[in-house]
Structure 1
């Protein structure tokens, strides 16, 4: 690790996604779910940025080992999110609306960068901590970052637009669908090995005037303490590289 003070995390090279609720002031279920999607995507963005900013500066063997594990947790988290969407969330929306292919645009967007994410993961697994090069990793990230960001920025609006398919005769309980399908992706291994990369890249104190602080992620009290402080004690070395503190503030990077 460098002897100088590491820099503060910055929202670069990918910019954050505004929530539809902040932009429109609407508070209907579709705007709410679209806003939650934007906040989730911002966690993925901050994770990407934190890797991009730190990769060239990781030097020490222990840092490299933990950093590779952090990178794998990030890519596995994003991949799991998209697998959940395609396998459960999107089909459930189609069934509720009595339509097909409502979110095919998002699926096509997934395909545009999944190859790059696979190369990112394969590189980390193949090279491991001893062969890993931050410069090479950033070059791989440059290959798919634009396609990834286009999708992360576009999908919340596509979710909000689904409101037109919800009618008095056939209402779509989008928040209920999200709750039911979202539970399917949780497992003990996923929680301890991957979930902290989501919670600890979630800045809520300043983003959009703090309107989401204590609101999203929708866990409070003891449950929040467990997810943001207790769970990260497992594999704590890898979570050193996150962009935010447990209380939702941007922090100084590890290297």
Structure 2
């Protein structure tokens, strides 16, 4: 007798974004930084989609509690990502370009969906008894309320990074990849590694996306974060869209 298996994760309702490197074939620091941001944003998109697809399917009380934990981890990723940008990354870009407020448009985009993110977090964290009180329709309604400004921002920010090349000149030289690397290190701490990094790394599909051009050998630290850390709290991380080898997988429920 055939076993009913959950469906394979799909890139919906939000579509993935294409990287500038894939579109143009260029590998300069502006193109690559914008592409890295696109890949990060695609992880956020897959996280959103994985929640949206599985919320109506979660029925078992134990699954519901684990699923709400997954949802809150996704929220923590998005909020942490944007806090880091505003506190560290954007000021470093301003300093390098000599252009005060050059990333203010991105800050305004963050603000456009912040209330929706707050409502998402407050609904889930406010459930006294998640097993009995969780209502998937309520969660999806909240997600629908901020999906458009969220997606608009996720699509626009890589283009803003790409456009920073207009400030590069013989007098003003800066390496956006170096800025990305140096400022990115400030985001990682123990709490982030344990409670956020798994959902970030394992919502990255690298086998099929853009012909597998972003599949790369992981250093041992990244390998531990991608493959070993998810073993801790694995009941929560099972709702991710991809396996640890970077392939889309079946939904958990």
TM-score by length of 1: 0.95
Q: What do residues 188-239 of structure 1 show as CA deviations (whole Å, max 9, x unaligned)?
A: 1111011100011000101111111117xxxx14223201111111111100
Distance 1:140 1:52 in 2: 11
Partner residue of 2:31? 31
Distance 1:98 1:141 in 2: 37
Post-superposition offset of 1:52: 0.2
Post-superposition offset of 1:4: 3.1
Partner residue of 1:52? 52
Listed as ranges, the gaps of 5+ residues in structure 1 are none
Partner residue of 2:134? 132
Post-superposition offset of 1:166: 1.5
Distance 2:69 2:170 in 1: 48
Distance 2:49 2:146 in 1: 13
User: Would you say 1:192 and 2:190 are equivalent positions?
Assistant: no
- DSSP-derived class of the 1:172 partner: coil
Distance 1:72 1:232 in 2: 16
Q: What do residues 49-97 of structure 1 show as CA deviations (whole Å, max 9, x unaligned)?
A: 0000000110111101110000000010011000011111001100111
Distance 2:187 2:233 in 1: 20
- DSSP-derived class of the 2:75 partner: helix
- DSSP-derived class of the 1:127 partner: coil
- DSSP-derived class of the 1:241 partner: coil
Distance 1:86 1:225 in 2: 28
Distance 2:141 2:183 in 1: 35
Aligned length: 249
The answer to which of 128-137 and 157-166 deviates more is 128-137
RMSD: 1.1
The answer to which of 123-132 and 63-72 deviates more is 123-132
Post-superposition offset of 1:163: 0.8
Partner residue of 2:43? 43
Listed as ranges, the gaps of 5+ residues in structure 2 are none
Partner residue of 1:171? 173
Post-superposition offset of 1:99: 1.1
User: Would you say 1:105 and 2:105 are equivalent positions?
Assistant: yes
Partner residue of 2:163? 161
Partner residue of 1:144? 146
Q: What do residues 15-59 of structure 1 show as CA deviations (whole Å, max 9, x unaligned)?
A: 001001111111110000000000000000000000000001101
